[in-house]
Structure 1
Amino acid sequence: MLRDEQLRVFWMSRIDYEKNTGVRSHFHDDLYQFLYLIDGEGTIHINDETYELLPKHAYFISKRYKHRFYFTRPSSTIDLKFDMISNDLENLLKADCFPVPYFMGDSPKLKELFKLSVMNLKNSSPIIPYRIDVGFKDILLAMIQENSFTQDTSPRSMYSLKSEFHPDFPVIDYLLENLQSSITLEDIAKHFNFHPHYIIDLFRKKFDTTPMKLLQELRIEKSKEYLEFSNYTVTEIAELVGLSAPYFSRLFHSKEGISPTEYREQARTVVGKHILLEEDFSPSLKKQPEISKDIL
């Protein structure tokens, strides 16, 4: 199987925890762990240090570090176990450790890796694990680089949602920043002091579509993220993307072929599943420590 020569992700899972549950103290002898909290709160103990578990934050756990965590309200996580094959990469990570917790924001890149792992679970491909290795390595390196000049730059510049889309096209920034609002072509034209026809021509040349159709696509993509990675109701999600609930449901069905509720049910069939990315991954490491209500 094709794998990256510097870093390999062996295991990934999206795990939801109930209130007052967690994982007992344990350690991994030859694996690193990366825990990202989608939503929720609690505490995590790493060696002798205790940290708050905060939404949109990541927690890096080194090999042989004892750790346990406990959630004080319903919480959702993305959990990875990986190893660094390259000594140079491992030394770089040790030399430039990022703070715990580490704010990642919505982290579309990490969520995309989880989607890839689910895709590989359903339809295995030799290229997908390699893409996950490379993608996660890119996330770690970006975090290390950002931490090296945090004091000189504004935080989260590398992980803001709008920078993930066409940074050379500010109209996209405007659309992303106003997904929750009811905006029209005239609003866009007025904001940028252009004629509406000029805005339409720009979008046709760059994206082969109209501004309002692209706005619909952005709203649907954002709603899919909410359906996959949040506990908002369908009505709440509709409001978050600037649509009425009935129209949102019709639009979503027309684009995806299923209702928002059906999409969420499909996405959650993999919640709690251990997604292995290498067949000979040691059986002793496959098992996630049991969730417990009595870990304090």
Structure 2
Amino acid sequence: MNPSQRTFWKKYMARARIDVDLAAYTKVSRSWNDEIPSCPVNRLYFITEGEGYVKIGDHTYYPRPGDLYLLPAGSDQAYGTISENTFGKYWCHFTAKIGDLDLFQILHTSPSIVVKDVLALGQTFENLIAHRRSDALSAEFRVTGILHELIADFIDANAAVKLNLATTPTHEKMNVVLRYMEQHIADQVSIETLAQLAHYHPNYFINAFKQFTGYSPIQYMNHLRSEKAKDLLLTTELNVSQIADSFGMELSYFSRMFKEQTGFKPTAFRDLRPR
């Protein structure tokens, strides 16, 4: 993979939408046992004590204390006990979506890592559980932030990481489309033009684009414009009308689009600048 492709895939995977369903610590009972075909969620198990098994597809594993296991969404999953010395484990169920795809459909890893600092990871899970239960307005930010760190650490420590490009539309084609959109941010770009760049029929292109990015083409273009506008508002003295003109947009439409994307009016966003 060349540097350009690596940069693209780093940014692509960073678009994953993370949602934590459940998180807790459990000392499982002897009856802990289940089989879940095509499980809709990812499961993280950090084993702190005991013994048992987990099964992913046709492969059965016997985690040891200090192991962190990932059971990826979409796989056939199973788990159970093998003695009275049952697992004590931190666990988390979560989804990680890029468009309509699960992150770990695209990114394949080995199922487990050996944790170097078990006390630190235990504290990380305690923080995740506490914020998951919190009523604070900031709680979900902290929950997703912790899980992003957990996923990043799992990937970095993993012995076998590879991209499964067969699950996505041809990334070279979509990369061409995204670059074109960035270069024509001030133009009225038609679906037909974008579809031609990707060599897709327009109707198929819209679905493929949304699967690939999580946005419709117009949503993605407005996302690009709002990100560029935020930069201009914070780093230049251009007034809002001039910024709207730079995108070839009427002032009223630009202001409405910016608020829909950011939650702020352009002038209110500029007021956030450090004085």
Alignment TM class, shorter chain as reference: 0.3 to 0.5
TM (normalized to structure 1)? 0.42
Q: Which structure's CA Rg is the greater one? A: 2
TM (normalized to structure 2)? 0.45
